[in-house]
Amino acid sequence: MILPKSNRLTPEQLNEVTAVVAEFGCKIQPIIGAVRTIYAIVGDERDELMINRLEGLSFIDRIDRIQSPFKLMDKRSDLASHRITIGGVTLGEELFVIAGACTIDPKNPNYFYETAAAVKEAGAHMIRGGVWKPRTNPYTFQGDVKSLDILMEAARRTGLPVDTEVMEEAHIKLALDAGVTCLQVGARNALNYSLLRAIGRAVAERETTVLLKRGMHMGPISEFISAAEYIAAFGNPNIILCPRGTAPTLDGYRNHPDESITPLLKEKTWAPVVVDPSHSVGKAVYVPACALAAVAYGADGLCIESHVSPSHGIGDDPKQSLTPDVLAETISQAKQLWALRHPVKTA
């Protein structure tokens, strides 16, 4: 929809606009109001070049898009009925829980094996474990490819699918060849378009899911959905959106919890939303409340850091990992809340 600066376009201006849109196979339909006339673009108005050309005309105030720029991720797209199933659970049909350590310790694999067994017992459907870690300080532990074997051994022992973060293209092949079910894109890489493209391409042929974290500095919601659109556009529609807190505004929390984003996302996209309350707040004591708030806001699942002995963990585990008993209690309460929000429909 074209909104001119004046109340209506002059015949010359209308001719110019008509000529521009005709180059892109579109037409103009004036909508004449008592005071103001606006102009609908009839045809596919998503072409960026056409919009740029129109916005560049001095007599145009703005262009309001009616068609979504998300060809695949939009709620009204052909993919809207797509469902994601992991380890036998279809997202949206029951609360989906990912849990496990922030970081796998390659020197002490038993912590991870015990954690994996404990989070399964607590009710998790997928195990998370960091093999490669994005650390703020280059001198801190950066992860170790040996942890990939530990992750897969935990998958074998528990029979559960596993999730791990890939930070560069080389990690994608290593993780997929090892049998990782879900590739995680971290908050720091959520705007790394070459990585997003590579993931979309690499997983297109396989039954692989992508857990896309929301960047901590992301602004408009469209930025988050566009990142998902990259992965889908390059071949893989199995995308879960994962809000994980944005840059902090309150002293007590590691990040600003963004669990209230879920209803906004769901107005625009069909993609399931699994919230990460651990990174959102950054301290174990606040994680259960954030997890419940996320479910209250309509999340389809939770991704929670947990460790059998947090003080022996690496990375975020000492501060923000829940012990398995607190995890079990949190999952149980979250499931009750989820059931309240999803009453069983009787005929």
Enumerate binding residues for Mn ion (CB under 5 A).
102, 316
By CB under 6 A, what part of segment 195-234 binds ligand PEP? Answer: 213
Q: What backbone torsions phi and psi does residue 110 show, to the nearest 5 degrees?
A: -60, -30
Strands (E) located in 169-208: 182-185
To the nearest whole angstrom, how small is the minimum distance from the Cβ of residue 319 to Mn ion? 9
In the block, tokens 């029979």 appear at: 159
- Burial classification of residue 134, based on how many CB atoms lie within 10 Å of its CB (0-12 exposed, 13-18 middle, 19 or more buried): middle
Q: Which residues pair with 303 in a beta bridge?
A: 98
Q: Which is nearer to ligand PEP, 102 or 275 (CB)?
A: 102
Q: How far apart are CA 188 and CA 183, in angstroms?
A: 14
Is residue 282 close enough to count as binding ligand PEP by CB under 6 A?
Answer: no
Is residue 186 close enough to count as binding ligand PEP by CB under 6 A?
Answer: yes
Is residue 266 close enough to count as binding ligand PEP by CB under 6 A?
Answer: no
Binding site partner of 213, from ligand PEP, Mn ion, none, Cβ cut-off 5-8 A by kind: ligand PEP
- Burial classification of residue 94, based on how many CB atoms lie within 10 Å of its CB (0-12 exposed, 13-18 middle, 19 or more buried): middle
Is residue 307 close enough to count as binding ligand PEP by CB under 6 A?
Answer: no
To the nearest whole angstrom, how small is the minimum distance from the Cβ of residue 81 to ligand PEP? 29
Q: What backbone torsions phi and psi does residue 314 show, to the nearest 5 degrees?
A: -120, 165
Binding site partner of 186, from Mn ion, ligand PEP, none, Cβ cut-off 5-8 A by kind: ligand PEP
Q: Which is nearer to Mn ion, 100 or 272 (CB)?
A: 100
Contact 224, 190 (CB under 8 A): yes
Is residue 134 close enough to count as binding ligand PEP by CB under 6 A?
Answer: yes
**Which of 28, 72, 102, 166: binder of ligand PEP (CB under 6 A)?**
102
CA dihedral sign of residues 84, 85, 89, 93: positive
Which of 24, 95, 56 has its CA nearest to residue 272?
95
Q: Which is nearer to Mn ion, 4 or 277 (CB)?
A: 277
β-pairing, 37-42 vs 27-32, is: antiparallel
To the nearest whole angstrom, how small is the minimum distance from the Cβ of residue 178 to ligand PEP? 18
Binding site partner of 74, from ligand PEP, Mn ion, none, Cβ cut-off 5-8 A by kind: none
Window 9-48: contact mask with ligand PEP (x via CB under 6 A) = ----------------------------------------
Helix then strand count (H, E) for the chain reads 12, 14
Binding site for ligand PEP (CB under 6 A): 102, 130, 134, 165, 186-188, 213, 244, 279, 316
